[in-house]
């Protein structure tokens, strides 16, 4: 299968490395310099004490011409509009697209794309980009995907042809797949970023845990979750399983980079406003993280 | 006038230094070692480029026998119960007491003290204790006092005999005096500590300012403030006038020390619960700071 991967961040590098063992992968990067470097050196993946390098073809995204069977879009949600503007300039009729963004705000952007099929997925791997050509795979997990529009044949093929150490699981219902990830992200990401703590600290510190419960309750109320207890157990077990991890939002804040707060709490807040539900804590943490983003910018420019 | 000052923190040292120019001051400290050091060296006060030292009699608080005309209690609210237990062991009938604690939760503790008079006050000076015998007076302000119980003659005398650079202003209504300080502390202290920013940043960062407005609104609603706009302007002008200051709660959190959160948001939350008013943000920041206190303990012991 000819696979295009858009985005040279940690997830893009991770997918490029693993999928290239069985497929012809082209990685599309934002900057020409990252593509050049990867063409020279390959992509280096570190897992525990192991380090391995794979040759991968890399191209600047501006040169994308739509010759892949499937394109995996592994950019942040806030980068998506720019990517879609470029994608839509080429005929997409024979192509499948897999979107790996957090949140659910991007679904409305996908409605009017005329592709053969559109898939959405959630990534449960821990990965950090150490250099433009190097990624650390710290937490082995799974990628869950589902059909959003069109037929699912190619997604099943991709799933069956994934390497065993990097499995792709096909789920039946894209909505509940994304909601589950959204709830996890809505609770863990903003709180760990606000308190500057690891995921596990949200369970260990009884006061932080109280706040976690209240933010979860508000999220469940806004999203009108059925089987609320299952969603809650899922949040808790992910905090537990990733207890030593620093969440992506915490890392972004610490690095003075923009976060995915719009895709996560911004989306929940939008739903709350549509349904005219008060969501004081979600609004508070949304605003708090926006404030931290500005402080980070100040630090970088100051 | 014979003045006893209980507490060798920044406020106790500040009052000892200034009041000793016109009165006979005895400073009561928690530790015998601080009393010894002050008896040897005096109290050193630094203001701008000036540094001055005054001889002051210091005694360990356990040796307090109630021979003063007025006792100024300059300890944190959470240290008050221990202090009161000792005070009540001596006859207080001929004595006046002035309490300088934050919040309003301590008022109920003062109800059943049988002294000649009880006064309460708020301190608007910026001061930092640099050493057990040294205090920096960074922000010149004023001390406002009012009668809580008994007659006010001695308070008027104390006020008229205060040094001009350290004035004591007598107010008519103790309740509005304390409420005004409570509102300022409820908004500025927890937010600066949660965000780890100077007081002025609450005005400069538009997202932090949004949160400030919401926490103020909730506080005003719980305390049923009349002339809400005046309280709000007061908060804003204090943020502005102390823009480069780090609040006492922020300093406590950074030093891994207990904060006055119980005296401040704990009190507001108690009122909210009595009145059955929802106060989600006040509850959130109360819980958040309790969580930070625990993290600080972890850091110190870890």
B4 token code pair: 């006893």
pLDDT digits (tens, 9 = 90+) for A20-61: 999 999 999 999 999 999 999 999 999 999 999 999 999 999
Please, how many CA atoms are within 13 Å of residue A90, restricted to the half-sphere of its CB?
Answer: 17
Mean pLDDT, residues B106-134 taken together: 93
Supply the mean pLDDT for chain B. 94
| Element of type H or E holding B118 | strand B117-123
The pair phi, psi for residue B256, each rounded to 5°, is 65, 30
Mean pLDDT, residues B169-192 taken together: 96
- Closest CA in chain B for residue A197: B295
Q: Which pLDDT band holds residue B302 (cuts at 50, 70, 90)?
A: very low
**Catalytic residue from among A181, A244, A275, A290:** A181
pLDDT at B66: 84
| Burial class of residue A63 in the structure, from the number of CB atoms within 10 Å of its CB (0-12 exposed, 13-18 middle, 19+ buried) | exposed
- Please indicate whether, in this complex, the C-beta atoms of B288 and A214 are within 8 angstroms of each other: no
Q: Which stretch of A184-188, A267-271, B8-12, B64-68 has the lowest confidence by average pLDDT? A: B64-68
Q: Count interface pairs A-B at CB distance under 8 A.
A: 64
Determine contact: A288 vs chain B, CB below 8 A: yes
Residues in chain A: 302
Please, how many CA atoms are within 13 Å of residue A278, restricted to the half-sphere of its CB?
Answer: 5
pLDDT at B240 over 50: yes
C-alpha torsion angle, residues B96, B100, B104, B105 (rounded to 10): -80
Q: Identify all chain B residues contacting A280, using CB atoms and an 8 Å cutoff.
A: 214, 280-281, 284
Q: Identify all chain B residues contacting A210, using CB atoms and an 8 Å cutoff.
A: 287
Supply the mean pLDDT for chain A. 94
Q: Which of these, B141, B204, B205, B189, lies nearest to B285 by C-alpha position?
A: B189
pLDDT at A302 over 60: no
Is residue A2 part of the annotated active site? The answer reads no
Q: Tell me, yes or no, if the two domains A2-172 and A177-301 fold the same way.
A: no
CATH architecture designation of domain A177-301:
Orthogonal Bundle (1.10)
pLDDT at B142: 92
Overall fold of domain B177-295 = 1.10.1040
Q: Which stretch of A203-207, A285-289, B62-66 has the lowest confidence by average pLDDT? A: B62-66
Q: Which pLDDT band holds residue B197 (cuts at 50, 70, 90)?
A: very high
pLDDT at B203 over 90: yes
Of B194, B207, B291, the CB nearest to A287: B207
Determine contact: B295 vs chain A, CB below 8 A: yes
Contacting residues for B230 by C-beta, under 8 A, at least 6 apart: none
Mean pLDDT, residues A201-225 taken together: 98
pLDDT digits (tens, 9 = 90+) for B17-40: 999 999 999 999 999 999 999 999
pLDDT digits (tens, 9 = 90+) for A59-77: 999 988 888 999 999 999 9
Determine contact: A277 vs chain B, CB below 8 A: no
**Domain B2-172 maps to which CATH number in 3.40.50.720, 3.40.50.460, 3.40.50.150, 3.40.50.2300?**
3.40.50.720
Helix (H, G, I), strand (E, B) or coil at A29: strand
- Please indicate whether, in this complex, the C-beta atoms of A294 and B201 are within 8 angstroms of each other: no
The pair phi, psi for residue A123, each rounded to 5°, is -105, 125
Separation between Cα atoms, residue B134 and residue A178, nearest integer Å:
59
Residue spans per domain, chain B = 2-172, 177-295
């Amino acid at each position: 299968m000819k696979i295009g991967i858009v985005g040279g961040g940690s997830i893009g590098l991770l997918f490029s490395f693993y999928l290239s063992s069985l497929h012809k992968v082209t990685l599309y990067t934002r900057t020409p310099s990252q593509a050049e470097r990867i063409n020279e050196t390959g992509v280096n993946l570190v897992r525990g004490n192991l380090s391995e390098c794979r040759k991968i073809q890399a191209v600047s995204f501006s040169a994308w011409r739509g010759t892949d069977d499937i394109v995996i879009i592994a950019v942040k949600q806030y980068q998506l509009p720019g990517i879609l503007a470029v994608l839509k300039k080429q005929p997409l009729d024979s192509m499948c697209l897999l979107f790996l963004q957090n949140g659910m705000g991007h679904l409305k952007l996908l409605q009017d794309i005329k592709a053969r099929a559109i898939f959405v997925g959630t990534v449960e791997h821990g990965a950090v980009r150490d250099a433009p050509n190097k990624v650390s795979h710290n937490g082995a997990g799974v990628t869950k995907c589902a059909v959003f529009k069109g037929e699912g044949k190619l997604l099943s093929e991709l799933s069956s042809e994934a390497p065993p150490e990097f499995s792709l699981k096909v789920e039946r219902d894209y909505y509940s797949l994304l909601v589950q990830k959204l709830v996890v992200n809505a609770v863990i990401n903003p709180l760990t970023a606000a308190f500057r703590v690891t995921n596990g600290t949200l369970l260990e510190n009884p006061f932080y845990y109280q706040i976690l419960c209240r933010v979860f309750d508000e999220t469940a109320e806004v999203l009108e979750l059925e089987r609320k207890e299952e969603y809650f157990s899922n949040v808790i077990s992910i905090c537990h399983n990733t207890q030593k991890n620093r969440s992506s939002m915490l890392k972004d804040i610490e690095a003075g980079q923009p976060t995915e707060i719009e895709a996560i709490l911004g989306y929940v807040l939008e739903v709350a406003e549509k349904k005219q539900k008060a969501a004081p804590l979600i609004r508070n943490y949304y605003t708090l993280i926006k404030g931290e983003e500005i402080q980070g910018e100040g630090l970088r420019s100051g």
